[in-house]
A = this chain, B = another copy of it.
Amino acid sequence: MQDIIVVKVGGSAGVNYDLVCDDIAALVRAGRRVVLVHGGSGETNTLSEKLGRPPRILTSPQGFTSRYTDAETMDIFAMAIAGKMNTRMVERLLRRGVNAIGLSGIDGRLLEGPRKASVRAVIDGRQVLVRDDYTGKVEKVNAPLLRLLLDAGYTPVVCPPAASTEGEAINVDGDRAAAMIASALGAKQLVILSNVPGLLRQFPDENTLIPRIRYGELEQALSFAEGRMKKKVLGASEAIVGGVAQVVFADGRVPGCVQAAMAGAGTVIER
């Protein structure tokens, strides 16, 4: 059986989805099996602003950030990501001859995990408990569903939300979801595309790109990874622990970005 490649494409400004889909189409035409995972934080923020509900970001005592997702925010999140982004990504692939099929994590409990009973956050320097937040962490992937579709010739395009154990839609981190998918499918490579060339020692100076990093050095990498890159480093770490041989952080703004990353362009993380 051909190796499966999991490609995660970020939702930040600058990432060129047309180029990403060009390259995925080339891979699929060459007989490779690809799972595309996407987020959509930028679209969610834009829609939130347009609807007069500006995004609220929670910061944990450890410095990780997450979107405060009450029921109404979940509607906005689902509309932007599972609605607009996923539809348009599938459309891009269909137009390139790829038999794409869009799924959010709640479909068939594709991505499942417990909803956090409460989230600890620092607001104005004080720790508070937020209780009406629909967030969680993916602990289980419905790999048989993905294999069923891959075996039938489809290219899954997966996005949050995930399903809580109780079946509620919950907000989960896309990078870490992609890592769980790559582990569950026994993928050899996980490619994480964003609007930077990889992990930068001094963000945003692209001349400080780290070309290669070993699993044991990842904890140290957390210290200089800026905001959103922190979760990508966590995801990479989880993927390596989950058996993925190689995680590559690469530039999603350039032609041929997926195959270049597979060949080692960007930051390559290995056990």
Residue positions of A touching B, CB distance < 8 A: 47, 50-51, 75, 78-84, 86-88, 90-91, 94-95, 99-104, 106-109, 144-145, 148, 152, 154, 161, 163, 166-169
**A190 to B: closest C-beta gap in Å:** 23
**A87 contact set on B, CB distance < 8 A:** 78, 82, 104, 106, 161, 169
**A102 contact set on B, CB distance < 8 A:** 103-104, 106-107
**A107 contact set on B, CB distance < 8 A:** 90, 100-103
On whether A103 and B101 interact (CB within 8 A), knowing A78-B87, A87-B78, A109-B94, the answer reads: yes
Contact check, B82 vs A80: say whether CB atoms are below 8 A apart.
no
Name the prevailing secondary structure of the A interface residues.
helix
**A108 contact set on B, CB distance < 8 A:** 99-101, 154
- Beta-carbon nearest neighbor of A167 in chain B: B94
- A79-B83, A83-B84 given; 11 more Cβ-contact pairs under 8 Å: A47-B79, A79-B80, A82-B86, A83-B83, A87-B161, A95-B167, A100-B107, A101-B103, A102-B104, A102-B106, A108-B154
Question: Measured between alpha carbons, how far is A95 from B168 in the docked complex, in Å?
Answer: 7
Contact check, B166 vs A95: say whether CB atoms are below 8 A apart.
yes
**A13 to B: closest C-beta gap in Å:** 17
**A84 contact set on B, CB distance < 8 A:** 75, 78-79, 83
- Beta-carbon nearest neighbor of A81 in chain B: B83
**A94 contact set on B, CB distance < 8 A:** 106, 109, 163, 167
On whether A90 and B78 interact (CB within 8 A), knowing A148-B148, A152-B148, the answer reads: no
On whether A91 and B79 interact (CB within 8 A), knowing A51-B50, A51-B51, the answer reads: no
On whether A109 and B104 interact (CB within 8 A), knowing A79-B83, A86-B82, A87-B82, the answer reads: no
**A100 contact set on B, CB distance < 8 A:** 107-108
**A152 contact set on B, CB distance < 8 A:** 144-145, 148
Question: Measured between alpha carbons, how far is A107 from B88 in the docked complex, in Å?
Answer: 11
**A67 to B: closest C-beta gap in Å:** 16
- Beta-carbon nearest neighbor of A163 in chain B: B94
Partner of A109, one of B99, B109, B166: B99
- Beta-carbon nearest neighbor of A87 in chain B: B78
Partner of A83, one of B82, B99, B101, B148: B82
